[in-house]
Amino acid sequence: MRARRTSGKCRWRPFLRSEDGGAAVEFALISTPLFMLLFAILEISRAYFVQNALSYSVEQAARCASIDTVTCGTATQIKSFAANRSGATFDSSIFTSSNAACGRLVTGSYPFTFSVPFLARNVNLTARACYPV
């Protein structure tokens, strides 16, 4: 007897009805947004860390400029002090120091780039502190 030739439609029917691999397909659909959310949370946490380090360094530099004129007597010394006290890898060029009505004013401005895949954004983080003389 001759074997009956089946159409392509009939050959694929068992595969189309099968539920094997459903979990893998669901994970593939959900994993991309899930990992993007995870990376976004990590980057926002990193931004908060950098902002906190910037705020701390300008506060300490303003205090040093008002109290300790040996260590922080010039603008260059104040900038260097702020960069060293930050706990982050800030360059001293992001800090400025001046005399103001409130006392010694130290400001810092740092360009921060979020590294979330497909959503790279630039934000300028700033901090300002004034300590009376």
pLDDT tens-digit map of 61-101: 999 999 998 999 999 999 999 999 988 889 999 999 999 99
Do the domain assignments include residue 10? Answer: no
Q: Is residue 12 part of a domain?
A: no
For residue 43, tell me if it sits in a domain: yes
Q: Range of 122's domain?
A: 22-131
Give the separation between CA 53 and CA 34, rounded to whole angstroms.
29
* Averaged pLDDT for residues 112-133: 87
Q: What pLDDT, on a 0 to 100 scale, did the predictor assign at position 49?
A: 95
Residue 30 lies in a domain: yes
Q: Does any domain span residue 61?
A: yes
- What's the alpha-carbon Rg for the chain, to the nearest Å? 29
Is 26 part of any domain? yes
Answer yes or no: is 15 within a domain: no
Encode pLDDT of 40-61 as tens digits: 899 999 999 999 999 999 999 9
- Per the CB < 8 A criterion, the answer to whether 62 and 103 are in contact is yes
Specify if 13 maps to a domain.
Answer: no
The structure's pTM equals 0.76
Look at the chain and report how many structural domains it folds into: 1
